[in-house]
Amino acid sequence: MASESSFDVVSEFDRQELVNAIDIARREISNRYDLKNSKSTIELQDAEVVIQSQDDYTLKSVIDILESKVIKRGLSIKIFEKQKVESAAGSTVRQSLKLRKSLTTDQCRELNKRVREQFKKVKTQIQGDSLRVTDKSRDTLQEVIAYLRSLDFEAPLQFTNYR
């Protein structure tokens, strides 16, 4: 077993980087002339980011600003799962962006299936909210990582514990 190499496929993000991106977005919203008096707010809660604004157009602008700041901080915008726009108090609109914190069991199964179809000899194992990929050849593992990066998967993927 010592001669085999492995890595884990996970979906995580640095919460502090998200906090920093939200702070920068708030500052830009308060300084921009077109958004200065729009009553736009961005609130980070445990499992979601709530954005409130005066109308749909400014809400979309605020979300675009937040997404650009998130990308600049090195995070993927796939961590956001956009919910439906809803009416809020005082003729404003609100939208929740749920945070994807880890891979679900169904997502692990989907990744497992795709890796097994593409690479027949690789061993995969679902471990809670991660997928462990094992093989004797490190080159094959690098090919698996390249393949998984090329997928347009619904959650952001990171590769940890490469041994």
Instruction: Give the integer Cα–Cα distance in Å for 20 and 70.
Output: 9
Q: Say if residue 146 is exposed, middle or buried (CB neighbours under 10 Å; 0-12, 13-18, 19+).
A: exposed
pLDDT at 87 over 90: no
Q: How confident is the model at residue 1 (pLDDT cuts 50, 70, 90)?
A: very low
Is the pLDDT assigned to residue 75 strictly greater than 70?
A: yes
Kindly report the average pLDDT of the chain as a whole number.
88
As given in the structure block, the two tokens for residue 57 are 């157009």
pTM of the model: 0.81
What is the per-residue DSSP string for 39-92? --EEEE-SSEEEEEESSHHHHHHHHHHHHHHHHHTT--GGGEEE---EEETTTE
Q: How far is it, in rounded angstroms, from Cα 88 to Cα 97?
A: 16
Per-residue pLDDT, averaged over 67-71, amounts to: 94
Instruction: Give the right CATH number for 15-99 from 2.40.160.60, 3.30.70.990, 3.40.630.30, 1.10.10.10.
Output: 3.30.70.990
| pLDDT score recorded for residue 51 | 92
Token pair listed for 93: 């609109």
**Topology annotation, domain 5-12+103-160:** Alpha-Beta Plaits (3.30.70)
User: What torsion do the CA atoms of 84, 36, 42, 54 make, to the nearest 10 degrees?
Assistant: -30
Q: Parse the chain into domains and list their residue ranges.
A: 5-12+103-160, 15-99
pLDDT digits (tens, 9 = 90+) for 110-161: 999 998 988 888 988 888 888 899 999 888 889 899 998 888 888 888 888 7
